[in-house]
Structure 1
């Protein structure tokens, strides 16, 4: 088979705390290694920053990462693309969040910055064992010059206000309550998407979109599922994604990913 490139979302696809799948299943690990040994490329394609790529994912030996929903791309350990937020817009955004007393964190290519005041958001990630990823002493305005994404925890009373702000300033509302902290909103360049990141990976390898497979479960996976030649929605995926997928496999807790990999790439 001609070389293919496979793109995997993380939360809800490789792991999912809601379903009790806290680590990548051993069967999935075996299939990933087998497919890679057969000459295909494997990429994580996630909204996560690099600082949230836990060691268990690094140990899987992916060929690269499309992170920040396409805002940062790394291949074979080298950064090939980074799209930072407009500094003025990033500053305006955090000013708005501070006025609303919303916890937020600033994410750059390799680090995450959070003010010591923001206990709720920090505690959420600390409870997931991720507290070491944060830098808490920093110059806000300096960090904003390198910001790729801002993530905020918004109270119910301010959800509509923040949603309206996103629609007006960013052209779309990005809210990921299913995987992030409660009432989690993300702010990033409106030109970013997983699909844009995938196109850059394909260009890097000199391949065609016909050589791509995507696996996901969430709203931010829709564009990559639509773009790739074969788009697979997990059985636990949101209905909007299932409607766009070429294939719907079983859910993550029913060995859905392992089984579909075996079917698509038989031994």
Structure 2
């Protein structure tokens, strides 16, 4: 098989818990690019927070905000903000239940609080820089959102507000009771479909690596989907392959299974 594209999640896939990546990961990216394979970061993170990493790794394109925004060669391929009314409904529910939200726009991370301990921890763990308090004038610009300080038993209330979304637990070390809002028609998998169509690449010639349930759709739409050893156990059912953990060069070892790296 001649593969054409590689899509990589960041946290728990490229980056270890101490925010580093193995030398084998960068080497693997360089080796597949030498074969003509385009490499995309595909993350729930806002793209304004990952460009530095992308430049270090020399990736070719980006999918961010869990599939709401995609860019390749300075061309925006996907740009799908959340419905303003729905955002405001989530904010009302969060306030009623003493939850916190982070809402991402193209340029900033907007929080419902900057003083709550769970928010401070969230900012620290993800090393977020462009942070401001959420204001009503950006409610129509929200590309993605996460609910913070919410118990598993409280998740259903959000999903009942909108049957077109589901909440996906953020499985990152030192983060708990945090969920990404995933839209049924706006997710990593749907964004990959659009990117592949733009590139003229068949899905069976695409590869993806992930570790969280927000990677479920991504692993399903490509020909070769890899779940990291450190994945949420529920993700394994959606992956064609398993590979080693992020701190054991999982991306490199997975690509080695496909005989794409030496």
- TM norm. shorter chain > 0.5: yes
What TM-score does the superposition give when structure 2 sets the normalisation length?
0.89
Please list the CA deviations of residues 83-122 of structure 1 after superposition, one character each: whole Å capped at 9, or x if unmatched: 1111111111112212222221211123211244542243
Residue number among 154, 159, 163 corresponding to 1:161 in the alignment = 154
Does structure 1 retain, via aligned residues, the 8 Å contact 2:31–2:261?
Answer: no
Give the Å deviation of 1:227: 1.4
2-structure distance, mates of 1:173, 1:92:
15
Give the Å deviation of 1:250: 1.7
1:12 matched residue in structure 2: 12
Give the Å deviation of 1:123: 1.0
| 1:211 aligns to 2:205 (yes or no) | yes
Question: Aligned with 2:129: secondary structure?
Answer: helix
Does structure 1 retain, via aligned residues, the 8 Å contact 2:69–2:79?
Answer: yes
Correspondences of 1:121-200 after superposition (within 5 Å): 121-128=118-125, 130-136=127-133, 140-156=135-151, 159-179=152-172, 181-200=175-194
RMSD of aligned alpha carbons: 2.2
Q: Which runs of 5+ in 1 are unaligned?
A: none
1:65 matched residue in structure 2: 62
Number of aligned residue pairs: 260
Q: Which runs of 5+ in 2 are unaligned?
A: none
1-structure distance, mates of 2:76, 2:82:
17
| 1:231 aligns to 2:228 (yes or no) | no
Give the Å deviation of 1:239: 2.5
2-structure distance, mates of 1:185, 1:256:
25
1-structure distance, mates of 2:48, 2:118:
16
Does structure 1 retain, via aligned residues, the 8 Å contact 2:22–2:247?
Answer: no
1-structure distance, mates of 2:21, 2:101:
29
Question: Aligned with 2:226: secondary structure?
Answer: strand
